[in-house]
């Protein structure tokens, strides 16, 4: 076994540089600790490419090697746990993936999971264990799947391997998400990614649910047509929400007993910001992170949003509830709201709902926007990476490449066609909407690195109903902090191996 320790000293130096505010930032993104039991992928690869096979050596064998795959993050992720066939298409597809992987490459997949501390930057268990592993040079993990904030911080301190430079990970093939490559590659290097190897990113993708009975009762226009005709705009959404509010029990108050246009949990503000084309950061033409959050347009979007949440047509969950399940899910199922702002992973909850529901992407800013944009929930997601200190990189890259390919081959159809479409989604048009949602996903490094804590600031604006005037005056300070952090990450990654 060869250990790669080059660049470690640089990494050790970088870690001592000014730390981010990540550790003390409480992520208030919802209380969901959803156990992700579904597995597979959707919409990341092109169907016509399914005949492609990975370019790895014929007859490659790891000679019985135990391949250590470490998982940590905020949402418990069980997608590699299937150890027997049980008739459930997803479970069986996962099981088949592992079986084929182990038999073909002659290895034993050893999944090590630790969800004992949340991913938050440099305090999460994913961060800590990889940090310890790399610092000690023990190469305990061949590959990892680490929560967003932790994997970003590990990247910043130089503790991960550039996936683009590995011998057998081919980022051009459809089983790696090209959007992740585009959005996460900095200075030509990609230290973490996802794709068909995982379904967690799919489950973390934002969507809107709507109650079909409510839509009918309130003569709401055909929402699917609005989406298809690109008339599904932010203003249209606001107009529809504001058209529905009713003091159902006639007590003069608006509570969880009443009727609303939307149910909102705080982090949906990130979905609307991204959906309307906003990005905390983008990767510029020089491959560097650039701060792109602040603009008149952004302020306008936030203002309209706060205005909407203040309207009696919107049920502000945090102001009345501590649990998203206690109110929102019950209310949505009981037909007390047209819209519910959520992520894909909520869909199974409503599988047995009496009333029909449909799925939509978050709206456009205006009709001529290039496309819809679907946020990946930073708090819940986790990404594939390889620690800087590792065993045989050739082996590791062969295994990851093959795992991702097998994900596309076995798990994707089970997740997408049999699970989501076959069991959870009740109409063909919602399936079309899911295609749009998965095809327009966005990975915003600005949120992942928590630069200037901007995403949390957006969430706080929702929670406290501040106006953009406050943000405008506060921005100078935020900008200064964010720019400094961005400069540090750009600098660190331009030097990284």
**How many distinct helices (H) and strands (E) make up the chain?**
19, 14
C-alpha to C-alpha distance for 378 and 46, rounded to whole angstroms:
25
Binding mask 257-276 for Ca ion (x = CB under 5 A): -x------------------
C-alpha to C-alpha distance for 207 and 18, rounded to whole angstroms:
37
Residues between 230 and 259 with contacts to Ca ion, criterion CB under 5 A: 247, 249, 251, 253, 258
Residues between 372 and 431 with contacts to Ca ion, criterion CB under 5 A: none
- Least Å from the CB of residue 205 to Ca ion: 9
Which of residues 74 and 198 has its CB atom nearest to Ca ion in the complex?
198
- Least Å from the CB of residue 381 to Ca ion: 10
- Least Å from the CB of residue 298 to Ca ion: 29
- Least Å from the CB of residue 257 to Ca ion: 5
How is the chain split among helix, strand and coil, in percent rounded to 5? 45, 15, 40
C-alpha to C-alpha distance for 90 and 421, rounded to whole angstroms:
12
Which of residues 11 and 185 has its CB atom nearest to Ca ion in the complex?
185
Q: Up-side HSE of residue 364: CA atoms within 13 Å toward CB? A: 17
Residues between 24 and 53 with contacts to Ca ion, criterion CB under 5 A: 41
Applying CB under 5 A, does 201 fall inside the site for Ca ion?
yes
DSSP string for residues in 380-400: T-EEEE-BSS-S-HHHHHHHH
Which of residues 207 and 393 has its CB atom nearest to Ca ion in the complex?
207
Is the CA virtual torsion 1, 53, 440, 215 positive or negative?
A: negative
Applying CB under 5 A, does 225 fall inside the site for Ca ion?
no
**Nearest residue to 335 via CA among 397, 261, 265:** 261
Applying CB under 5 A, does 79 fall inside the site for Ca ion?
no
Which of residues 198 and 245 has its CB atom nearest to Ca ion in the complex?
198
- Binding residues for Ca ion, rule CB under 5 A, total 9
Which of residues 247 and 356 has its CB atom nearest to Ca ion in the complex?
247
- Least Å from the CB of residue 123 to Ca ion: 26
- Least Å from the CB of residue 247 to Ca ion: 4
Which of residues 243 and 249 has its CB atom nearest to Ca ion in the complex?
249
- Least Å from the CB of residue 320 to Ca ion: 12
**Nearest residue to 227 via CA among 383, 413, 389, 364:** 364
Report yes or no: 376 and 365 within 8 Å, Cβ to Cβ.
Answer: no
Report yes or no: 308 and 338 within 8 Å, Cβ to Cβ.
Answer: no
Lookup result for tokens 């978050």: 362
Residues binding Ca ion (CB under 5 A):
41, 198, 201-202, 247, 249, 251, 253, 258
């Amino acid at each position: 076994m060869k250990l790669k320790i080059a660049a470690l000293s640089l990494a050790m130096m970088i870690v001592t540089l000014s730390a981010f505010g990540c550790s003390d930032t409480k992520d208030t993104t919802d209380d969901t600790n959803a156990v992700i039991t579904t597995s597979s992928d959707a919409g990341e690869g092109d169907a016509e490419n399914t005949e492609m096979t990975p370019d790895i050596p014929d007859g490659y064998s790891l000679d019985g090697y135990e391949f250590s795959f470490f998982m940590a993050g905020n949402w418990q992720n069980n997608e590699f746990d299937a150890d027997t066939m049980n008739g459930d298409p997803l479970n069986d597809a996962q099981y088949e993936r592992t079986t084929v992987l182990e038999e073909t490459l002659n290895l034993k997949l050893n999944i090590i999971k630790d969800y004992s501390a949340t991913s938050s930057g440099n305090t999460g268990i994913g961060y800590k264990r990889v940090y310890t592993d790399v610092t000690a040079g023990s190469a305990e993990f061949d590959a990892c799947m680490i929560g967003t904030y932790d994997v970003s911080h590990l990247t910043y301190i130089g503790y991960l391997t550039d996936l683009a430079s590995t011998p057998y990970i081919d980022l051009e093939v459809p089983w790696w998400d090209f959007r992740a490559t585009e959005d996460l590659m900095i200075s030509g290097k990609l230290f973490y990614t996802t794709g068909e190897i995982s379904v967690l990113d799919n489950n973390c993708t934002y969507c809107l649910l709507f109650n079909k009975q409510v839509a009918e009762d309130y003569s709401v226009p055909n929402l699917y047509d609005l989406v298809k005709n690109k008339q599904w705009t932010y203003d249209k959404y606001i107009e529809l929400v504001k058209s529905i509010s009713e003091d159902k029990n006639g007590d003069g108050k608006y509570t969880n007993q009443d009727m609303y246009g939307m149910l909102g949990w705080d982090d949906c503000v990130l979905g609307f910001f991204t959906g309307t084309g906003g990005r905390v950061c983008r990767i510029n033409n020089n491959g560097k992170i650039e701060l792109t959050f602040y603009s008149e347009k952004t302020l306008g979007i936030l203002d309209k949003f706060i205005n909407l949440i203040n309207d009696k047509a919107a049920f502000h969950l945090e102001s009345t509830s501590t649990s998203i399940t206690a109110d929102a899910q019950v209310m949505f199922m009981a037909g007390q709201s047209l819209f519910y702002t959520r992520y894909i992973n909520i869909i199974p909850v409503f599988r047995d709902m009496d009333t029909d529901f449909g799925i939509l992407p978050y709206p456009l800013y205006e009709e001529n926007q290039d496309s819809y944009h679907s946020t990946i929930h930073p708090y819940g997601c986790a990404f594939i990476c390889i620690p800087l200190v590792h065993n045989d990189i050739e082996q590791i890259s062969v295994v990851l490449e093959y795992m991702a390919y097998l994900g596309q081959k076995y798990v994707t159809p089970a997740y997408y066609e049999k699970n989501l479409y076959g069991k959870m989604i009740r109409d063909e048009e919602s399936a079309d909407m899911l295609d749009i949602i998965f095809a327009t996903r966005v990975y915003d490094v600005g949120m992942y690195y928590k630069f200037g804590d901007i995403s949390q600031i957006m969430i706080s604006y929702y929670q406290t109903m501040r106006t953009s005037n406050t943000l405008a005056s506060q921005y100078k300070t935020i900008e200064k902090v964010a720019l400094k952090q961005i400069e540090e990450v750009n600098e660190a990654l331009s030097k990284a191996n």
